[in-house]
Structure 1
Amino acid sequence: METFSYTFPAGKEISQRAHTGVVGSGDLEILIEPGNNKTTEFVVRTASEGFESIWKAVFERFISSNDIDAKVTINDFGATPGVVSLRLTQALEIANQK
């Protein structure tokens, strides 16, 4: 099990907390909470060790168009970068519903 985090500057607020996905083979769970410090903090707990640079690249790409002020907690069980991106987009959509 590996745990790491990244923090990026951010400015866009989200409306509410959100949850998407499940911790299961080839998938992951994402929880988003509104922040209050103008940053996006990603906290990752993963069963797949040695992929930290790939996680960082996925987050940088997501943040380039979604600089949300939030804490994003990810519990992973072997999801691919494509699944991570999909789940992040789903969670953001839920967090912005009013």
Structure 2
Amino acid sequence: MQTIEFEFPGGRPAIQRAHIGVVGSGDLEVLITPGSADLASVRVRTSVDGFDEIWRNVLSRFFTRYGLTGSIEINDFGATPAVVSIRLLQALDQSTAVGTSTGEH
């Protein structure tokens, strides 16, 4: 088990908590908590050691493109970069949309 931490600048703050995915074979969960308005603090806990550079590249692309900020925790169990990207987009949508956590539209 490995823990990797990153920080990325941004300007799109999470406005509510988000919880996407599950920790299971080939999948991961993403938890987002509102925090800094100009910085994303990312902690990755992964079952696969030695992929620091791949994590850095995948996350850098996401945060450069979308600018999400806040506290982000990723709990990984062997997800591919494509799955990571999908889960991050789902979490972005949930954490920046008004009313989604209460079922409001």
1:57-84 alpha-carbon deviations (Å, 9 max, x no partner): 0011001111122111000000000000
Report the Cα distance in structure 1 between the residues aligned to 2:48 and 2:42, rounded to whole angstroms: 17
Where do 5+ consecutive residues of structure 2 fail to align?
Answer: 99-105
How far residue 9 of structure 1 moved from its aligned partner, in angstroms, is: 1.3
How far residue 37 of structure 1 moved from its aligned partner, in angstroms, is: 5.3
Within-5 A mapping of 1:27-46: 27-36=27-36, 38-46=38-46
Runs of 4+ in 1 over 3 A off after TM superposition: none
Identity of aligned residues (%): 49
Q: Secondary structure at the match of 1:54?
A: helix
How far residue 35 of structure 1 moved from its aligned partner, in angstroms, is: 1.2
- State the aligned residue count: 98
CA spacing shift, 1:8–1:89, aligned 2, 3 Å: same
Report the Cα distance in structure 2 between the residues aligned to 1:30 and 1:76, rounded to whole angstroms: 9
The range that moved more, 76-85 or 31-40, is 31-40
Q: Secondary structure at the match of 2:6?
A: strand
In structure 1, the partner of 2:5 is 5
TM-score (norm 2): 0.89
Q: Over aligned residue pairs, what C-alpha RMSD do you find?
A: 1.0
The range that moved more, 63-72 or 50-59, is 63-72
**Higher Cα Rg: structure 1 or 2?**
2
Q: Is the 8 A contact 2:46 2:75 kept in 1?
A: yes
Report the Cα distance in structure 1 between the residues aligned to 2:46 and 2:15, rounded to whole angstroms: 27
TM-score (norm 1): 0.95
